[in-house]
Structure 1
Amino acid sequence: MKLPTGIPNPNNKVCKLQKSLYGLKQASRQWFAKLHNELLLQGFKQSKNDYSLFIQTTNSSLTIVAVYVDDIILTGNDHTIITQLKHHLHKVFSIKDLGRLHYFLGIEVSYVPQGIILTQHKYTKELLQASGLNDFKAAVTPLPQNMKLSSTEGTLITDPLYYRSMVGKLNFLTNTRPDLAYSVHHLSQFMQQPRDTHLQALHHTLGYVAHTSGQGILMNGADKLILQAFCDSDWASCPDSRKSVSGYILQLGKSPISWKSKKQATVSRSSAEAEYKAMANAAAEVTWMVRLLTDLGFPIHEPVTLHCDNQSAIYIAKNPVFHERTKHIAIDCHFTREKVMEGLIQLTYLPTSSQIADIFTKILPSHQFNKLLTNLGAISAKIVGGVKNTTTYTNEHVP
Structure 2
Amino acid sequence: MDDKSAFLNGFIEEEVYVRQPPRFESARFPDRVYKLRKALYGLKQAPRAWYARLKSFLLKSGFVMGSVDKTLFLLSRGGDTLIVQIYVDDIIFSGSSHALVSSFAEQMSREFEISLMGELQFFLGLQIKQGLEGTFVHQAKYTRDILKKFNMGDSKPMTTPMSTNTALDADEDGEAVDQKEFRGMIGSLLYLTATSPDIQFAVCLCARYQASPRTSHLQAVKRIFRYLKFTPELGLWYSSGSSLSLRGFSDADNASCRIDCKSTSGTCQLLGTSLVSWSSRKQSSVALSTTEAEYVVAASCCSQLLWMKATLRDFSLRFGRIPLLVDSTSAISIAKNPVLHSRTKHIDVRFHFLRDHYEKEDIELIHVVSANQLADIFTKPLEFDAFTRLRGELGVLQAEGIDNALIKGEIESQWTGLIALLV
Normalising TM by the smaller chain, what interval?
A: over 0.9
For the pair 1:330 / 2:348, whether they are aligned, the reply is: yes
Shift of 1:135: 2.2
In structure 1, what is the Cα distance between the partners aligned to 2:35 and 2:301?
Answer: 50
Asked if the contact 2:234–2:397 (Cα under 8 Å) also holds between the matched residues in 1, the reply is yes
For the pair 1:27 / 2:27, whether they are aligned, the reply is: no
In structure 2, what is the Cα distance between the partners aligned to 1:352 and 1:196?
Answer: 34
For the pair 1:151 / 2:170, whether they are aligned, the reply is: yes
Q: Given the superposition, is the C-alpha separation of residues 216 and 154 from structure 1 closer, same or farther in structure 2, using an over 3 Å criterion?
A: farther
Structure 1 residue ranges without an equivalent (≥5): 387-399
Q: Normalization by structure 2: what TM-score?
A: 0.88
Kindly provide the amino acid, as one letter, of the partner of residue 359 in structure 2: M
Match of 1:295 among 311, 314, 320: 314
For the pair 1:372 / 2:390, whether they are aligned, the reply is: yes
Q: Deviations over 1:123-174 (max 9, x none)?
A: 1111111112342222111111131211234534342111101110110111
Shift of 1:96: 0.9
Q: Given the superposition, is the C-alpha separation of residues 235 and 86 from structure 1 closer, same or farther in structure 2, using an over 3 Å criterion?
A: same
In structure 1, what is the Cα distance between the partners aligned to 2:153 and 2:96?
Answer: 47
Kindly provide the amino acid, as one letter, of the partner of residue 32 in structure 2: K
- Give secondary structure in 2 for the equivalent of 1:326: coil
Count of matched residue pairs: 385
Partner of 1:391: none
Shift of 1:385: 11
Q: Deviations over 1:76-96 (max 9, x none)?
A: 212222111111111111111
Asked if the contact 2:251–2:327 (Cα under 8 Å) also holds between the matched residues in 1, the reply is yes
Shift of 1:11: 6.4
Partner of 1:392: none
Q: What RMSD over aligned residues (CA atoms) do the two structures have, in Å?
A: 1.8
Q: Deviations over 1:21-46 (max 9, x none)?
A: 11111111111111111111111122
In structure 1, what is the Cα distance between the partners aligned to 2:112 and 2:402?
Answer: 31
- Give secondary structure in 1 for the equivalent of 2:58: helix
Share of identical aligned residues, percent?
36
Kindly provide the amino acid, as one letter, of the partner of residue 316 in structure 1: I
Match of 1:72 among 71, 91, 102: 91
In structure 2, what is the Cα distance between the partners aligned to 1:342 and 1:47?
Answer: 25
Q: Deviations over 1:341-378 (max 9, x none)?
A: 11110011101111010000000111111111111111
Partner of 2:283: 264
Does 1 or 2 have the higher relative contact order (CA < 8 Å, sep 6+)? 1
Partner of 2:103: 84
Where do 1:333-372 residues align within 5 Å? Answer: 333-372=351-390
- Give secondary structure in 1 for the equivalent of 2:34: coil
Where do 1:152-231 residues align within 5 Å? Answer: 152-222=171-241, 224-231=243-250
Q: Normalization by structure 1: what TM-score?
A: 0.93
- Higher mean alpha-carbon deviation, 277-286 vs 109-118, is at 109-118
Asked if the contact 1:248–1:278 (Cα under 8 Å) also holds between the matched residues in 2, the reply is yes
In structure 2, what is the Cα distance between the partners aligned to 1:334 and 1:325?
Answer: 13
In structure 1, what is the Cα distance between the partners aligned to 2:215 and 2:357?
Answer: 45
Partner of 1:2: 19
Kindly provide the amino acid, as one letter, of the partner of residue 62 in structure 2: G
- Give secondary structure in 1 for the equivalent of 2:270: strand
Partner of 1:397: none
Where do 1:375-390 residues align within 5 Å? Answer: 375-382=393-400
Partner of 1:278: 297
Structure 2 residue ranges without an equivalent (≥5): 1-17, 405-423
Match of 1:251 among 261, 266, 270: 270
